[in-house]
Amino acid sequence: GDSVTQMEGPVTLSEEACLTINCTYTATGYPSLFWYVQYPGEGLQLLLKATKADDKGSNKGFEATYRKETTSFHLEKGSVQVSDSAVYFCALTSGGGADGLTFGKGTHLIIQP
């Protein structure tokens, strides 16, 4: 079945540091890929998405590129802020939405001032 693997952390960085959270996947067919973010006490918010190979999703300074050859969708940001502290989930769906999202375990990101 489908699966997503991501570093679990916690990942601790200083403000303005560069961020990379690795995500690799196994899926049948051609999945759509997502990054979701969860702030303390809240539900998940869609951060960015990519629906086909070589697509780049971007939002709020975060970027991720759909790499079919390496089955990866790494999340990057050039300069993180304290407000970026949250748990980040990589996810995919390959069933048109009907099979639901398959999530990674989540990466807890802590940004120190």
Partner 1 sequence: KAGVTQTPRYLIKTRGQQVTLSCSPISGHRSVSWYQQTPGQGLQFLFEYFSETQRNKGNFPGRFSGRQFSNSRSEMNVSTLELGDSALYLCASSLNSLAYEQYFGPGTRLTVT
Backbone angles phi, psi at 25, to 5 degrees: -140, 160
Tell me which stretch binds partner 1 (CB under 8 A): 53-61, 65-73, 76-84, 85-93: 85-93
x-or-dash string of contact with partner 1, 54-83, rule CB under 8 A: ------------------------------
- Is 104 among the residues that bind partner 1 (CB under 8 A)? yes
Is residue 51 near partner 1 by the rule CB under 8 A? yes
Among 102, 107, 109, 111, binds partner 1 (CB under 8 A): 102
Q: DSSP letter at 99?
A: T
Question: 78 or 100, CB closer to partner 1?
Answer: 100
Q: Smallest Cα–Cα separation from 12: which of 61, 76, 75, 85?
A: 85
* Edge-to-edge strand ranges of the sheet holding 62-65: 19-21, 75-77, 62-65, 56-59
Distances (CA, A) of 111 to 71, 80, 102: 28, 7, 27
Residue 106 binding partner 1, by CB under 8 A: yes
Q: Which residues bind partner 1 (CB under 8 A)?
A: 32, 34, 36, 41-46, 49, 51, 89, 91, 93, 95-106
